[in-house]
Chains A and B, each alone.
Chain A
């Protein structure tokens, strides 16, 4: 715990100063080598050492251009900017995520984390076999997650396919639970742009409060960043409602198909520059879903983006988050990476379906002092 505090404080001065240059690390390396001989001031020395170790993980982009319009002005400028983003230290990112995952959260803090996690859930059903009845029962669950405990918070949103948005809207009524809809030929995103936009428009017209779009991974991976950018901009425009409001846009990067952390960072920046309100890890339909290191990279991206532009973007890991323990690891990660500002349902969501039951069972356990079981929560 003490060591952790030290790391965090050691990192912050560096973040405020701006990007750690390779030169800094090299000179710190020299300090390292001479450490035994020279009377180096201990704390400053440690600060530099940790700054170097986590340089790639925590690098702040003070070099970010003042004018986002310029970097997105052409394909070449966009490519130059995205490829100029600092590379990710894979080992560093994974070890930091793993280390943060070992935090022990008990008693009052656990009760707080469980309720916070419940309120951040996008309760999701995205099956080919979804029926209006299933969506209604999911909505009923969102309205009363635990009928025996009226104090249980509600999840933030219900996430369904576009054709079921109207059903979900009807079932939720005026309750403060949003309806999110996946769109743009989810999950593959393989359709012509006008079809994707029609998909979005139909969901918005049916009353969706949030749109979860997928990026064109094929275009992204073959370097056609401008195409991806333009598509997000077009979808963002399609999210507008006649009353002047607009549905929130979540951009799914499908990190399981992006193959490297560098690509995740680039895709995050690309989506944020194009006007995403949220960046989301996965569709839940491919082998690799949300992981802690990927979420760490995305949280760093939103943190750096806010520092550079003043605009705050939300993050939503989705897929494969099933247990209370998983959820709490993500909360720790948010707190330690992006900070408390993101620790609300407005800026952080968990895309999940079975997670809610596990959280409710843990809630029973805390309330009653005995282990609960699946007989005491709904079968989804």
Chain B
């Protein structure tokens, strides 16, 4: 057979409410590798896609935050399992998107799988570490537990397309929040492919919503959205403009969102993450319970 097989190119789509729609704008933008060679088209998400994603996340919130921590752990572990089964594919995606060698890309995928497992273990242990029984002066049992904040917007890190994404997304959903993630504008493809992993991992539709598109066109709408309870600015711009950390913080202040500021330089995502990111998107709930007579 000397015939050349026709290329079957993948149409990358958004992931909103458990479905894979195209952007409502109908537009796409060309994604290139680090040497400016074209890779694929990614959907050019708009503020309306972000709005739809927030609606989906809000709808999924009662179910996900109300699920038992143990159940959330199982689901997160399932994500790790599904990702493990596709590590070759993701090694290719990450290698192309980040311009790293294949071995390095594979190591990064493995680290992402391990990170999902790590957070899966934390879901039913965080309360013991961050919460506690408080000694009070009265006949009450009094204890404090961390609870989910609500709908969290996440601006994914710009460079680390899969490990970075995992490191910011997993802690948000582990505690029961639902997430609207804006993938890295330059390297969105691994994130969009990762949505396919989420779709087959028992993650209820709407718990994670993935968008791709220009940071400056989508992020300000998420930051100002009145129905978003917190925002992780990991992928925000450090130069002045509408997508800068400063402007997004100002937009987020209007409904007193929780804001997680990014470090000045994208961190080394392979380092031990600690529980900081999980606790950034939780609220302390204290219960007083009468004891005795």
The interface of chain A, by Cβ under 8 A from chain B, is 364, 369-376
Contact = CB atoms under 8 A, between A and B. Distances in A.
A374 B227 contact: yes
Given A370-B225, A371-B226, 8 more contacts: A369-B224, A370-B226, A370-B254, A371-B54, A371-B225, A373-B226, A374-B227, A375-B226
B51 interface: yes
A310 to B, nearest CB: 45
Contacts of B254: 370
Contacts of A364: 226
Most buried by B among A370, A371, A374: A371
B22 interface: no
B225 A375 contact: no
Nearest to A369: B224
A371 B51 contact: yes
B221 interface: yes
A369 B221 CA distance: 9
Contacts of A371: 47, 51, 54, 221, 224-227
B72 interface: no
A365 B263 CA distance: 32
Contacts, number: 29
A374 B251 CA distance: 19
Interface residues of B, number: 12
Contacts of A372: 226-227
Contacts of A376: 226
28 contacts: A364-B226, A369-B224, A370-B221, A370-B224, A370-B225, A370-B226, A370-B251, A370-B254, A371-B47, A371-B51, A371-B54, A371-B221, A371-B224, A371-B225, A371-B226, A371-B227, A372-B226, A372-B227, A373-B54, A373-B58, A373-B226, A373-B227, A373-B228, A374-B58, A374-B227, A375-B226, A375-B227, A376-B226
Nearest to A373: B227
Interface centre among B58, B226, B254 (most CB of A within 10 A): B226
A373 B221 CA distance: 13
Contacts of B58: 373-374
A366 B177 CA distance: 28
Among the interface residues A364, A370, A374, A375, which one has the most CB atoms of the partner chain B within 10 A?
A370
Interface in B1-32: none
A370 B224 CA distance: 6
Contacts of A369: 224
Contacts of B51: 371
A290 to B, nearest CB: 22
Nearest to A370: B224
Interface string B213-229: 00000000100111110
A369 B227 CA distance: 14
Contacts of A375: 226-227
A369 B254 CA distance: 12
Nearest to A374: B227
* Nearest 10 pairs of A and B residues by beta carbon: A373-B227, A370-B224, A373-B226, A371-B225, A372-B226, A371-B51, A376-B226, A371-B226, A370-B226, A370-B225
Interface string B31-57: 000000000000000010001001000
A355 to B, nearest CB: 16
Interface string B245-282: 00000010010000000000000000000000000000
A238 B292 CA distance: 64
A375 B224 CA distance: 14
A217 to B, nearest CB: 35
Contacts of B227: 371-375
A108 B286 CA distance: 48
A371 B180 CA distance: 15
A364 B58 CA distance: 18
B151 to A, nearest CB: 9
A97 B200 CA distance: 37
B180 to A, nearest CB: 12
A377 to B, nearest CB: 11
